[in-house]
Amino acid sequence: MKKLSMLHIAENAADPRIFTAPFRAALAELGSLEIRENGHAMSAAEKAALIRPHDVLLTCWGATRCPDELASNAGALRYICNVTGELARFLPVEFIDAGIMVSNWGDYPANGVAEGAMTLLLATLKDLHSQVQHVRHGGWKMDMHFHGGSLDRAVVGLYGLGVIGRRFLELIRPFGATLRVFDPYLTETLEGCERVHSLHDLFRGAQIIVVHAALTEETRNTVNAELLAMLPRHGVVINTARGGIIDQPALFRELESGRLRAGLDVLEPDSLPEDHPARGWNNLILTAHRVDHGWPDFNEPPTTLNRMQEICIANLQRYRDGETPRFLYDRTRYLRST
């Protein structure tokens, strides 16, 4: 059986969250793995020379950027297996164009992010953040200027319906909301949803907007002041996708005035200064790009593969056995991915 020759070049140190003992052991069963660190100190030519003898390159969080020149002179390289999600930061699109197979973790984050979006939606809608703070500071029942709400018969607009958006759709269906969807790449009809053909139509009459779109040049800042103004007083905006999709200053003006409420896992940039007033707004929940996290491991060394590692190993087995790996990129998917 073919043995794979695999390489990973880390920009600094190899990420211990990825290269755990169980993962290294599973990779060793498939072939040889070479890990090089401090890729930031290597020239493009040095990195290309390191990669060319290997048929598989493993990328992930913290990987060094692949040199552009490698795409047109790849040597033995046939497959780039990205253990994590985002790809563009360390792999130019020319590798896709050159016919080198490239995959990532596929639907791995769907459950966690969809659960996180649903959590943010319910918490924001019920003013849970304000109630918790009120009780912690000695209060009990809040006065009526906190408004709450219900998904029952609410009009909810979903912006983007990729794998995460579809999982979220499954979670929200039982709550009895009227569901609208805007996704220019959607081709099929979805039962129980109204498909609209513009963001203007999505926002018109909606009480809640949930963002699941990828950040591209076409989607950047598309949730703008004009659209936000269409939401009713105490309307809700949820974003677990990318902060750059929303015109953040416009949304912050609405939140600072108290007109809207929001649950944001992501910002643009993805942080806030320590003294930013948004940290204290009662109508805003911020989860610092961590709302998708699963059970804590309490710093215990893992004894089994997690799901993203399982996807990687399964794809490497497929490649080794002459089968097509899952979650392959083409140019369109690359350009639409966040």
Q: Residue 236: count other Cβ atoms within 10 Å of its Cβ.
A: 23
Report pLDDT for 265. 97
Rg (CA), the chain: 22
Grouping H, G, I as helix, E, B as strand and the rest as coil, residue 34 is strand
CA proximity to 259, closest of 250, 270, 267: 250
Report pLDDT for 148. 83
Report pLDDT for 301. 85
Respond yes or no on whether the N-terminal peptide bond of residue 269 is cis (omega within 30° of 0). yes
Average pLDDT, the chain: 94
Between residues 266 and 188, the one the model is more confident about: 266
CA torsion angle 240 241 243 248 (round to 10)? -70
Return d(Cα 306, Cα 309) in angstroms, integer.
5
Report pLDDT for 136. 92
- Report whether pLDDT(186) > 90: no
pLDDT tens, position by position, 41-84: 999 999 999 999 999 999 999 999 999 999 999 999 999 999 99
What pTM was computed for the model?
0.90
Report pLDDT for 86. 86
pLDDT tens, position by position, 200-225: 999 999 999 999 999 989 999 999 99
- Report whether pLDDT(296) > 70: no
CA proximity to 203, closest of 177, 175, 224, 172: 224
Q: For each of the domains in the chain, give its residue range(s) and CATH number, in order of start.
A: 4-107+298-336 (3.40.50.720), 110-286 (3.40.50.720)
pLDDT tens, position by position, 116-175: 999 999 999 999 988 888 899 999 988 766 678 999 999 999 999 999 999 999 999 999
32 - beta bridge partners?
A: 5
Beta strands in the chain (DSSP E): 4-9, 31-36, 56-59, 79-82, 101-103, 155-159, 178-182, 193-195, 208-211, 236-239, 261-264, 284-286
Exposed / middle / buried, residue 3 (Cβ in 10 Å: 0-12, 13-18, 19+) = exposed
CA proximity to 281, closest of 298, 261, 308, 267: 261
Contact indicator for 96, 329 with CB cutoff of 8 Å? yes
Structure tokens at 278: 């948004």
Contact indicator for 19, 306 with CB cutoff of 8 Å? no
Q: Averaged over 232-251, what is the pLDDT?
A: 97
* pLDDT tier for residue 278 given thresholds of 50, 70 and 90: very high
Q: What percent of the chain has pLDDT over 90?
A: 84
* pLDDT tier for residue 298 given thresholds of 50, 70 and 90: low
